[in-house]
Structure 1
């Protein structure tokens, strides 16, 4: 499978830190947080992760990654709770980046709408399979 190139100093590069943070949390704290998509996505990117690798054991980077992971877990909990009451609802993931919150919460009945800037959606379309009940929308 061909890797997707992420250029330095682009909008797409802003996707790397939260994605890598979720990957790191899944590896370091699997009993607390698991993002099955993050590792797969990182493997599919043509990007030099060496600077992030150097920081991954620092307290501040670890804390920031945990904070982002816990925020995502809170959102997932709230979405699943809502879907238990309204199973055919639509999940709207504004500023979706490269996260798969919708798929993580998918109950088989809901719809998922991922919204982000054109450069981000372009990368998503190269990396992430869109399900039948899922759409990607551009913010212009």
Structure 2
């Protein structure tokens, strides 16, 4: 069975295929500075307000028939300096891109990646998350701009 993790980054191998998912939370905010990041890749680019939790991205796995798979195991590999990162499973998202082109526009469930800047913090912050599903691992770095 083909598995896909919704993630717009290079380096997925084996049973995983490259894909990007859009966020379904209009109130979430963030910026991704990855070479493949672009408008429509599902990453929020609005500034993060200090003291408010903001969804940055949704990580999801789906099969060849566009069915949701088990949630990828997520690990913070580079913690942010000015805030905290948390994960919330069971979030719905729309597939924007995939290596095979299948499942684009389909809804799948995944885990939301959230960033909360500590009160009083401003300016840029960066963190990295690693995703593992079916033995394949990839990492993505996120950058956020904090405003009061």
Higher share of residues assigned strand: 2
Higher share of residues assigned helix: 1
Q: In which range does the TM-score fall when normalised by the shorter chain?
A: under 0.3
- Normalised to the residue count of structure 1, the TM-score between the two structures is 0.27
- The structure number with the bigger radius of gyration is 1
- Normalised to the residue count of structure 2, the TM-score between the two structures is 0.26
